[in-house]
A and B are shown apart, each in its own frame.
Chain A
Amino acid sequence: MNPSPSATLTWTPVCRVADLLPERGACALVGGRQVALFRDHTGHLHALDNLDPFSGAHVLSRGIVGSRGGEPTVASPMHKQVFSLRTGACLDDPAVTVATYRVRARHGVVEVAV
């Protein structure tokens, strides 16, 4: 699900942790890629590709964050398909998965590796 750990990772700082509202996404532009960033209610960070594979629009960062069972989720704002924030798997359509990216907080700054 995540890129191979053996590869050398380049971490790009994108914003302060405080810039991310709890349970609301934001989008960062990293090396030409649109990365949807989420901070869940426990403070954990998640990063998915921003492209909604169902609509073809770059909008996943604008979906509603929540949970299904124990899984933290985001629902596409376009047609409400729900994706796991941890794995990128679409929970409404097992054939569809969006890419996940590595994300971490260092000294109050959010960093992404693509």
Chain B
Amino acid sequence: MAVRAGRGDRVTRLVVAGYGPAAQRLVETLRERRFGGEIVVLGEESRPAYDRVALTTHLTEGADLAYPVPEGVTTRLGARVVSVDREARAVLVEDGRREPYDVLVLATGSAPFVPPVPGAGLAFVYRTIDDLEAIRAAARGARTGVVVGGGLLGLEAADALRGLGLETSIVEVAPRLMPRQVDEGGGAVLKAHIEALGLAVHAGEMLERIEPGRVVLAGGRELAADVVVFSAGVRPRDELARGCGLEVGERGGIVTDAGMRTSDPAIYAIGECALVGGTVYGLVGPCFTMAEVAADRIMSGGAEFGGAETSTKLKLLGVEVAQFGAMTGALDVVYMDPVAGIYKRLFVSDDAATLLGGICVGDASPYTALKGFVGKALPAAPSDLLFAGSGVALDLPDEASVCSCNNVSAGTIRSAIAERGLTEVAGIKACTRAGATCGSCVPMLRQLLERSGVEVGKALCEHFAHSRAELFDIVRVRGIATFSELVSAHGRGRGCDICKPVVASILASLRGEHVLSGELAALQDTNDHFLANIQKNGTYSVVPRIPGGELTPERLIVIGEVARDFGLYTKITGGQRIDLFGARVEQLPLIWKRLVEAGFESGHAYGKSLRTVKSCVGSTWCRYGVQDSVGLAIALELRYRGLRAPHKLKSAVSGCARECAEARGKDFGIIATEQGWNLYVGGNGGFRPRHADLLVADVSTEELVRVIDRFLMFYIATADRLQRTSAWLESLEGGLEYLRQVVVEDSLGICAELEARMERHVAGYFDEWRAVLDDPDKLRRFTSFVNAPGVPDPSIAFETEREQIKPVLIPLEVSSR
């Protein structure tokens, strides 16, 4: 598997020391570019690389931060490299193993700086998931906390301590918080924000020592502190480089050239351990760029790291803080509103023509609008630019950087939109990586889409200029009951396979009539039309509902008998049910009749509707279970069965944190806790897997059901066509926090209406199969031939495979693509 790396070099074995975000990006880039050699990644931590930028969410929301483990790469965890033998080209791992290399990449990151004060051993640091776990454990039973360091990470750590319920103080040696991002005026506004949240700020104070239960400041002042966290900067982890004689900087950091190569040409250094162009970078964006440059060099390219902008925008403790470009200038314009807690300052050249930089606290909108104009002519009068909503329309220059994390320019995004016909932010993320890391540039991406003339994901098809959500509102507000009424008043033409099922779904969600009633029948996709799932040979499969996956032996036998009597291929589904394949249209009612008589009903496997609520075995039988997951799964499946939605809905309930039901891969998943239930939303398996996010924790069953009712009805009212909850959640401006405000705190005042809508659904539920059996008009449509009702379709044929039927397909005369 050797690959020729060009210029006669042959890289057959690449070893990466360190397994953090930079290493992850390096390996991903190499894999994308089809690096053919062997890749070995040695990580010191016990877990694969994860997103450190979002560390706090792990603590406060239990967010899963892990990056996907790249394929075709050997990763060793808990494998700290202790030395490098440059002569023999091998590294020595702590466990005694030697790993030979042709090329070595040092991606060892940095270590938190621990000030040399008495009692420092009592304090924690804030860098790894293990650090967070230790802080969490220490916070149990603790009352007070102190964070030493008021920079970006320090405020994050303070936020985390506050989230753990500690009365928290921040000690910062500089005269203000975030001294590297804000000036004195911004610092004062920021301090007011932070103090209003109940945190104590001690700026301009030096730590003297730590004692059990308290810290002592230089002036002798004491602060109560059951938990102390250091966040006083980081130092590059360059000890491996020092040990093997590579050149390091005076103040630390492994010296590299612009190609990220160290003083040994077989060794590269990337990320926070590297000193490139005289600077050590601590932000994720430049570290990703370094990884991409090194990957290019390893593949014999000529990429160079040309420095990086270090602008920052973040929302900490609910306060937006942003800084871009220079923090000084010949002239500056300041807007300050101490009442609203807003401070904005722009630096411009002495002729007031060129923008040099800016600082924002409390309102970061100038960052979004103006970052791309740094070093360029001011697009409007500075005072206009500082007032949000002054209506100044700005067109970013092509070379302006939009996404700092992944170094993507406005021009790159514009060409991606034009060349690939992108219509939504998700597409930009997938094609360019912009917005895929910290997400702060997503509003800019939306703006670029709009300015490119894209009506962002709006018109449904040629028949309606509306989005699905708009059609939902039109139907709801005007009480529209039929497609004809809607298309003649609000659309044009006679509809198509896109808009008809959408309208069918909206009418079903709002009115709850049988999907085959009257004109509705003509709107349904074939699956809904035949209440079964079409298969490749034109036959259908039948899935009876098995709530929660619980099934009596008697009913199991009935399914077996039906399958045997109709000769159906039988398979267990991923949703804990049984799928029966190979039924012809005219057989469907006969099969349903047998199933319905035995107490079964439609499982809606064919609908864009609730599929199943899976469950683990739960506390009734499992020795680990803490709640009755099966009982809850059955109750939820019976509550939401038949609910039509923009796309299918899947759910699961796990009876303990071991999560055997895989609830976090579901649209709404529930995991039992000692105190109640945790509700996770927006999970997905399939093409683009996503772990669900924690929406509410430790709630009672009653509260859980109330929040799910609201969540589902809000999704149904506002999502796009065929948009699963995962993509919907990501498209919501304000994301999870916004969702929580709407469905938990009722910020829009719509929760009573959402709940009432769900109550109507639950009360109006009926079994669609039985309703067809009871209605001769509907029943008549279940024939293969309108002129020969008893005749089966002669084109359908089967052969046998593993003792069951398998479709025989007709060889095609016309083949396309």
A residues sitting closer than 8 Å to B (CB atoms) are 13-15, 19-24, 26-30, 32, 34, 37, 40-41, 51, 53-59, 62-69, 72-73, 75, 77-78, 80, 82, 93, 95-96
Contact of A53 among B493, B501, B814 (CB under 8 A): B814
Q: How far is the CA of A82 from the CA of B494 in the complex (A)?
A: 14
User: B534 an interface residue at 8 Å Cβ cutoff?
Assistant: yes
A23 contacts B494, C-beta separation under 8 Å: yes
Q: Find the A residue at minimum CB distance from B807.
A: A57
User: B390 an interface residue at 8 Å Cβ cutoff?
Assistant: no
- Interface residues in B767-789 by Cβ distance below 8 A to A read 781, 784-788
B787 contacts A15, C-beta separation under 8 Å: yes
Across the interface, which residues of A come within 8 angstroms of B462, CB to CB? Answer: 68-69
User: B345 an interface residue at 8 Å Cβ cutoff?
Assistant: no
A66 contacts B534, C-beta separation under 8 Å: no
Across the interface, which residues of B come within 8 angstroms of A96, CB to CB? Answer: 814, 816
Q: How far is the CA of A32 from the CA of B529 in the complex (A)?
A: 26
Q: A53-B816, A67-B496, A80-B497 are in contact. Are A62 and B526 (CB under 8 A)?
A: yes
- Closest Cβ of chain A to B811, distance in Å, is 7
Q: Which 9 A-B pairs have the closest CB atoms?
A: A77-B526, A75-B497, A57-B538, A66-B496, A53-B814, A14-B787, A67-B494, A26-B786, A64-B497
Contact of B522 among A22, A69, A72, A82 (CB under 8 A): A22
Across the interface, which residues of B come within 8 angstroms of A66, CB to CB? Answer: 463, 493-497, 499-500
Most A Cβ at <10 Å: residue of B484, B494, B501, B536: B494
B787 contacts A56, C-beta separation under 8 Å: no
- Interface residues in B476-522 by Cβ distance below 8 A to A read 484, 493-497, 499-501, 519, 521-522
Contact of A56 among B484, B499, B812 (CB under 8 A): B812
Q: Find the B residue at minimum CB distance from A65.
A: B522
Across the interface, which residues of B come within 8 angstroms of A69, CB to CB? Answer: 462, 493
Contact of A93 among B496, B497, B793, B816 (CB under 8 A): B816
B788 contacts A29, C-beta separation under 8 Å: yes
Contact with A along B806-817 (1 / 0, CB 8 A): 000111111010
Q: Find the A residue at minimum CB distance from B585.
A: A62
- Interface residues in B329-384 by Cβ distance below 8 A to A read none
A53 contacts B813, C-beta separation under 8 Å: yes
B786 contacts A57, C-beta separation under 8 Å: no
Contact with A along B233-252 (1 / 0, CB 8 A): 00000000000000000000
Q: How far is the CA of A63 from the CA of B816 in the complex (A)?
A: 19
Contact with A along B510-546 (1 / 0, CB 8 A): 0000000001011111100110001011100000000
Across the interface, which residues of B come within 8 angstroms of A58, CB to CB? Answer: 538, 793, 795
Q: How far is the CA of A32 from the CA of B784 in the complex (A)?
A: 13
A63 contacts B494, C-beta separation under 8 Å: no
Q: How far is the CA of A62 from the CA of B497 in the complex (A)?
A: 12
Q: How far is the CA of A53 from the CA of B816 in the complex (A)?
A: 9
- Closest Cβ of chain B to A20, distance in Å, is 8
Interface size band for B: 35 or more
B522 contacts A40, C-beta separation under 8 Å: no
A64 contacts B496, C-beta separation under 8 Å: yes
A28 contacts B786, C-beta separation under 8 Å: yes
Q: How far is the CA of A49 from the CA of B551 in the complex (A)?
A: 44
- Closest Cβ of chain B to A79, distance in Å, is 10
User: B474 an interface residue at 8 Å Cβ cutoff?
Assistant: no
- Interface residues in B84-108 by Cβ distance below 8 A to A read none
Contact of B787 among A30, A53, A80, A93 (CB under 8 A): A30
Contact of A41 among B494, B521, B525, B536 (CB under 8 A): B494
A27 contacts B497, C-beta separation under 8 Å: no
B525 contacts A64, C-beta separation under 8 Å: yes
Across the interface, which residues of B come within 8 angstroms of A56, CB to CB? Answer: 537, 809-812
Q: How far is the CA of A30 from the CA of B462 in the complex (A)?
A: 36
User: B392 an interface residue at 8 Å Cβ cutoff?
Assistant: no
Q: How far is the CA of A34 from the CA of B792 in the complex (A)?
A: 12
Q: A15-B787, A93-B816 are in contact. List 19 more A-B contacts (CB 8 A).
A: A19-B786, A24-B522, A24-B529, A29-B791, A34-B793, A37-B786, A54-B816, A59-B526, A62-B534, A64-B523, A66-B494, A66-B495, A68-B493, A69-B493, A73-B496, A75-B497, A77-B534, A78-B536, A82-B496
Can you name 14 A-B residue pairings with CB atoms under 8 Å?
A22-B519, A24-B521, A24-B529, A28-B786, A53-B816, A56-B812, A57-B537, A57-B809, A59-B526, A59-B538, A62-B526, A62-B530, A67-B496, A80-B497
- Closest Cβ of chain A to B224, distance in Å, is 66
Q: A29-B791, A64-B497 are in contact. Are A59 and B786 (CB under 8 A)?
A: no
Q: Find the B residue at minimum CB distance from A27.
A: B785
Counting residue pairs across A and B whose Cβ atoms lie within 8 Å, the total is 119
Q: A24-B522, A53-B816, A96-B814 are in contact. Are A82 and B786 (CB under 8 A)?
A: no
Q: How far is the CA of A59 from the CA of B526 in the complex (A)?
A: 9
Across the interface, which residues of A come within 8 angstroms of B525, CB to CB? Answer: 64, 77
Contact with A along B530-569 (1 / 0, CB 8 A): 1000101110000000000000000000000000000000
Contact of B496 among A27, A28, A75, A77 (CB under 8 A): A75
Q: How far is the CA of A108 from the CA of B128 in the complex (A)?
A: 78
Q: Find the B residue at minimum CB distance from A92.
A: B816
Q: How far is the CA of A22 from the CA of B522 in the complex (A)?
A: 7
B501 contacts A64, C-beta separation under 8 Å: yes
- Closest Cβ of chain A to B464, distance in Å, is 12
Contact of B785 among A28, A40, A57, A77 (CB under 8 A): A28
- Closest Cβ of chain A to B443, distance in Å, is 34
Q: Find the B residue at minimum CB distance from A22.
A: B522
Q: Find the B residue at minimum CB distance from A80.
A: B497
Across the interface, which residues of B come within 8 angstroms of A22, CB to CB? Answer: 519, 522
Q: How far is the CA of A92 from the CA of B525 in the complex (A)?
A: 19
B812 contacts A27, C-beta separation under 8 Å: no
Q: How far is the CA of A53 from the CA of B501 in the complex (A)?
A: 23
B536 contacts A55, C-beta separation under 8 Å: yes
- Closest Cβ of chain A to B515, distance in Å, is 13
Across the interface, which residues of B come within 8 angstroms of A73, CB to CB? Answer: 496
Q: How far is the CA of A21 from the CA of B524 in the complex (A)?
A: 13
Q: How far is the CA of A40 from the CA of B785 in the complex (A)?
A: 19
Q: How far is the CA of A53 from the CA of B519 in the complex (A)?
A: 29
Q: How far is the CA of A22 from the CA of B496 in the complex (A)?
A: 14
Q: A53-B816, A56-B811, A57-B536 are in contact. Are A63 and B497 (CB under 8 A)?
A: yes
Q: How far is the CA of A69 from the CA of B496 in the complex (A)?
A: 11
Q: How far is the CA of A102 from the CA of B259 in the complex (A)?
A: 72
B793 contacts A21, C-beta separation under 8 Å: no
A23 contacts B522, C-beta separation under 8 Å: yes
Most A Cβ at <10 Å: residue of B501, B525, B526, B786: B786
Contact of A21 among B521, B538, B787 (CB under 8 A): B521
Q: How far is the CA of A69 from the CA of B463 in the complex (A)?
A: 9
- Closest Cβ of chain B to A44, distance in Å, is 12
Q: How far is the CA of A64 from the CA of B534 in the complex (A)?
A: 14
Across the interface, which residues of B come within 8 angstroms of A15, CB to CB? Answer: 786-787
Across the interface, which residues of A come within 8 angstroms of B494, CB to CB? Answer: 23, 40-41, 65-67, 72
Across the interface, which residues of A come within 8 angstroms of B501, CB to CB? Answer: 64
Across the interface, which residues of B come within 8 angstroms of A34, CB to CB? Answer: 785, 793, 795
Q: Find the B residue at minimum CB distance from A93.
A: B816
Q: Find the B residue at minimum CB distance from A77.
A: B526
- Interface residues in B583-631 by Cβ distance below 8 A to A read none
Q: A28-B786, A62-B526, A66-B494 are in contact. Are A53 and B537 (CB under 8 A)?
A: no
Across the interface, which residues of B come within 8 angstroms of A93, CB to CB? Answer: 816
Q: A53-B816, A68-B496, A75-B497 are in contact. Are A27 and B534 (CB under 8 A)?
A: no
Across the interface, which residues of A come within 8 angstroms of B811, CB to CB? Answer: 56
Q: Find the B residue at minimum CB distance from A78.
A: B534
Contact of B526 among A14, A26, A28, A63 (CB under 8 A): A63
Q: How far is the CA of A108 from the CA of B27 in the complex (A)?
A: 70
Across the interface, which residues of B come within 8 angstroms of A82, CB to CB? Answer: 496-497
Across the interface, which residues of B come within 8 angstroms of A67, CB to CB? Answer: 463, 493-496
Q: How far is the CA of A82 from the CA of B499 in the complex (A)?
A: 14
